[in-house]
Amino acid sequence: GNPLKTACSDGDGPERKIQFLHGTTTLAFKFQHGVIVAVDSRATAGAYIASQTVKKVIEINPYLLGTMAGGAADCSFWERLLARQCRVYELRNKERISVAAASKLLANMVYQYKGMGLSMGTMVCGWDKTGPGLYYVDSEGNRVCGDLFAVGSGSMYAYGIVDSGLKQKDLTVEEACDLGCRAIYQATYRDAYSGGQVNLYHVHSEGWNRVSQSDVLMLHQQYQAEKA
């Protein structure tokens, strides 16, 4: 039979589109000391785990990060293009681009292709002169500013953890990192399409830095031991 059939949605003729999988959990939230970005690293093709080591955080420039959910190629291509546009802005205006402007550039770029099958759900995270910035941008044309977003098949599980964790105001950097890590772990526990490792980044006034990479199964052992 047709080997593409497993990857395609049902339907005949030219309308049959390749089904991209939003099997992922990515989240980002603002707190007192910047923005925490946490993602899983699993890529699935149907029920097959294609990879457990996907990099779902795209480093746009030293102070801007983008997350990846949806089509991997769409995300990395368009965010790479965004990095180019951000650099051009810097050269033209002799100052760093704001997170709002960067996210607007991305949103306007993909809006041109609305309805043509792009699949991208990304969070643009950074720090500019107005402080920490966090925007959700997707291929449908959504662009929303907020303090907390979770994107992907495991997003709802992640929301549960972060919403309840953020109730206590004023987290330290370490507490916030733990919260992000925990939220992704919980999502990978329940969502079959999320797993692998938790990649954690922290964005602050000087830029971003990679905090940790933790294997989900190791985290499981650790949390189980803590419970006992």
Partner 1 sequence: MEYLIGIQGQDFVLVAADNVAAHSIVKMKQDQDKMFKLSDKILLLCVGEAGDTVQFAEYIQKNIQLYKMRNGYELSPTAAANFTRKNLADYLRSRTPYHVNLLLAGFDETDGPGLYYMDHLSALAKAPFAAHGHGAYLTLSILDRYYRPDLTRDEAMDLLKKCIEELNHRFILNLPSFSVRLIDKDGTHDLEKLIPVGAK
**Any idea which residues carry the catalytic annotation?**
24
CB of residue 133 to partner 1, shortest distance in Å: 14
* CA–CA gap between residue 110 and residue 120 (Å, rounded): 9
CB under 8 A, 24+ apart: contacts of 88-97:
96/63, 96/128, 97/64, 97/128
For position 217 contacting partner 1 by CB under 8 A, the verdict is no
Candidate list 8, 18, 88, 145; residue touching partner 1; CB under 8 A: 145
For position 17 contacting partner 1 by CB under 8 A, the verdict is no
* CA–CA gap between residue 84 and residue 196 (Å, rounded): 30
* CA–CA gap between residue 49 and residue 163 (Å, rounded): 29
For position 62 contacting partner 1 by CB under 8 A, the verdict is no
CB of residue 173 to partner 1, shortest distance in Å: 25
Residue with tokens 């589109």: 17
Our CB check for partner 1 shows the closer of 25 and 197 to be: 25
For position 143 contacting partner 1 by CB under 8 A, the verdict is yes
Considering only residues 109 through 128, tell me which ones interact with partner 1, judged by CB under 8 A.
Answer: 111, 114-115
For position 223 contacting partner 1 by CB under 8 A, the verdict is no
Stretch that binds partner 1, among 11-19, 124-132, 137-145, 220-228 (CB under 8 A): 137-145
CB of residue 194 to partner 1, shortest distance in Å: 16
Pattern of binders to partner 1 over 22-51, x per CB under 8 A? Answer: ------------------------------
The H or E element containing residue 163 is helix 155-165
For position 14 contacting partner 1 by CB under 8 A, the verdict is no
> Could you tell me the CA-to-CA distances from 83 to 4, 64, 142, 157 in Å, in that order?
32, 9, 20, 31
Name residues whose C-beta falls within 8 Å of residue 139's C-beta, 6 or more positions apart in sequence.
Answer: 70, 74, 110, 113, 114, 118, 119, 120, 121
Contacts with partner 1 by CB under 8 A lie at: 107, 111, 114-115, 136, 138, 140-146, 149, 155-156, 159
